[in-house]
């Protein structure tokens, strides 16, 4: 997911570049990775060793930095990360692009009038403001990614679903185990949603003069009011609304 987000930001900035070559290559990437099923991409990365038995990263026509047998290098885990990350990058790019487009053009004008370069403007002025628009759909994507990780079971990487399958293949308790899987997914998505709430609060700071109270603060305040309530005051309950 982190890889997806980083890739997404890079791709979005590229796509909005005035340079047609840069924007075009980003558009091509998004077109390809968004246009093919993630399941196919996962299987592709898993079986990449059939195409390139040996993989090396290095300076072209120079010495290799890393090289090795593709079967060892692309483990099911690496294939899962590559497949999900590269695919996520394409979606995230569009989310970031939407966020960037939502920022008032006057902001770019002002930053450029001050002599800031395009990259400085992006990093210091536009992206921080775009975050407010980017975060909610990104939260969506994080959760959806968590569930998409169940797809990884097809390349025999023991994530949650595949582990459960392994167990019920032995003890035949399919339904109970699938329920356990659901509960675990719910637990993790709940934690992620709470995280998202606090992140949004932090970045919403400058728009409102005071941020709304968190649920915890509200509960505490509610308790305090209950303690302070004086019984038998006429109209007390009516005035409260």
Q: Which residues bind other proteins (CB under 8 A)?
A: 104, 106-107, 109-118, 120, 124-125, 128-129, 205-209
Decide whether 128 or 195 has the Cβ nearer to other proteins.
128
The whole-angstrom separation of Cα 151 and Cα 145 is 10
Nearest-approach distance from CB 197 to other proteins, in angstroms: 19
Nearest-approach distance from CB 119 to other proteins, in angstroms: 9
Nearest-approach distance from CB 17 to other proteins, in angstroms: 11
Nearest-approach distance from CB 111 to other proteins, in angstroms: 8
The whole-angstrom separation of Cα 160 and Cα 83 is 17
Q: How many CB atoms lie within 10 A of CB 155?
A: 19
Burial of 99 (0-12, 13-18, 19+ CB in 10 A): buried
Decide whether 110 or 156 has the Cβ nearer to other proteins.
110
Nearest-approach distance from CB 99 to other proteins, in angstroms: 13
Decide whether 117 or 140 has the Cβ nearer to other proteins.
117
Decide whether 125 or 145 has the Cβ nearer to other proteins.
125
Nearest-approach distance from CB 104 to other proteins, in angstroms: 7
Decide whether 13 or 125 has the Cβ nearer to other proteins.
125
Phi, psi torsion values for 178, nearest 5 degrees: -65, -35
Nearest-approach distance from CB 106 to other proteins, in angstroms: 4
Residues facing 11 on adjacent strands:
none
If you write DSSP's letter for every residue of 93-148 in order, what string do you get?
HHHHHHHHHHS-HHHHHHHHHTT--HHHIIIIIIHHHHHHHHHHHHHHHHHHHHHH
Burial of 98 (0-12, 13-18, 19+ CB in 10 A): middle
Decide whether 17 or 49 has the Cβ nearer to other proteins.
17
Decide whether 7 or 130 has the Cβ nearer to other proteins.
130
Q: How many CB atoms lie within 10 A of CB 88?
A: 24
Residues 6+ apart with CB under 8 A from 88: 1, 3, 4, 5, 7, 8, 141, 145
The whole-angstrom separation of Cα 59 and Cα 65 is 8
């Amino acid at each position: 997911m982190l890889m997806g987000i980083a890739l997404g930001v890079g791709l979005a900035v590229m796509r909005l570049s005035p340079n047609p070559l840069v924007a075009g290559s980003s558009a091509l990437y998004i077109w390809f990775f968004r246009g093919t099923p993630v399941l196919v991409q996962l299987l592709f990365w898993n079986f990449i060793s059939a195409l390139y038995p040996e993989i090396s990263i290095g300076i072209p026509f120079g010495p290799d930095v890393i090289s090795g047998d593709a079967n060892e290098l692309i483990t099911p885990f690496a294939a899962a990360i590559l497949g999900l990350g590269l695919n996520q990058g394409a979606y995230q790019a569009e989310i970031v692009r939407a966020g960037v487009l939502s920022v008032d053009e006057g902001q770019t004008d002002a930053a450029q009038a001050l002599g800031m370069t395009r990259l400085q403007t992006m990093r210091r002025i536009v992206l921080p403001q775009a975050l407010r628009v980017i975060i909610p759909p990104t939260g969506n994507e994080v959760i959806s990614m968590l569930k998409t990780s169940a797809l990884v079971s097809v390349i025999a990487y023991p994530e949650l679903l595949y582990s459960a399958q392994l167990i019920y293949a032995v003890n035949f308790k399919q339904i109970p185990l699938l329920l356990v899987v659901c509960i675990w997914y719910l637990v993790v998505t709940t934690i992620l949603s709470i995280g998202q709430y606090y992140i949004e609060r932090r970045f919403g700071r400058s728009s409102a003069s005071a941020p709304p109270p968190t649920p915890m603060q509200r509960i505490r305040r509610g308790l305090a009011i209950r303690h302070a309530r004086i019984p038998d005051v006429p109209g007390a309950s009516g005035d409260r609304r």
